[in-house]
Amino acid sequence: MLTDSERQRLREALALERQRLLRNAQEGLSFAMNRERNVGRDSIDESTEEELFSTELRLRDREKWLLGKINSAIERLESGTIDECEECGEPIGAKRLLARPVTTLCIACKEEREKEEASTAQGARGGGFAPEPEESTLTPGTSDE
C-alpha cells in the first residue's frame, strides 16, 4: 500500500508530466501553423519538408499516447488502484511507481512482457511503429533525486 506522501509525490509527478506534454503539443501546433505560411517557399526541398511534417505528426501521436497513459494513471491514483499490477494484481511497489508513474505492471510482469515484445518486434521490422519501450515514457533524471 502507498503512503500519503508517496501518493502526493506521484500526483505531483503526473501533473508535472502532463503540463510538459500539453506545452509540447501547443508548440507542435504552432509549428504546423508556421508551415502553412511557408508553403510555396521554393528554398525548401519538398521531400525534406514532407519528412519534417511526418516527424511532427508522429511526435504528436506519441504525445497523445503518453497523455492517455498519464490521464489513466491519475485516475488509478485517485481510485486507489495505481499500485496494482494489471496483469497479476500484485502490488507494483512504491519505488517503481515513483520512478515510472505511468507503469501498470509489476517488475516481474514487465520483464515478461518485454521478452514478448522483443520477439514480436523482430518479426515486424520495417513496417509501422516499433513498440514503445516503457522506460522511455518519462523524462530521465526522475530516479536520481
Q: Number of helices and strands (H, E) in the chain?
A: 4, 0
Q: Segment contacting Zn ion (CB under 5 A): 3-11, 46-54, 96-104, 108-116?
A: 108-116
The answer to whether residue 115 forms part of the interface with Zn ion (CB under 5 A) is no
Which of 49, 87, 114, 117 binds Zn ion (CB under 5 A)? It is 87
Q: Cα 54 from chain centroid?
A: 19
**Contact pattern from residue 39 through residue 78 relative to Zn ion, giving x for each residue in contact according to CB under 5 A and a dash for the rest:** ----------------------------------------
17 vs 83, beta carbon nearer Zn ion: 83
The answer to whether residue 29 forms part of the interface with Zn ion (CB under 5 A) is no
For residue 84, the cross-strand partners are 91
The answer to whether residue 97 forms part of the interface with Zn ion (CB under 5 A) is no
C-alpha cell at 6: 508517496
The answer to whether residue 81 forms part of the interface with Zn ion (CB under 5 A) is no
Go through 42-53 and write b for each residue having 16 or more CB atoms within 10 A of its CB, e for each that does not.
Answer: eeeeeeeeeeee
Please state, in angstroms and as integers, the Cα–Cα distance from residue 64 to each residue in 4, 12, 61, 80, 121, following that order.
29, 20, 5, 24, 22
The answer to whether residue 85 forms part of the interface with Zn ion (CB under 5 A) is yes
Chain contacts with Zn ion (rule: CB under 5 A): 85, 87-88, 106, 109
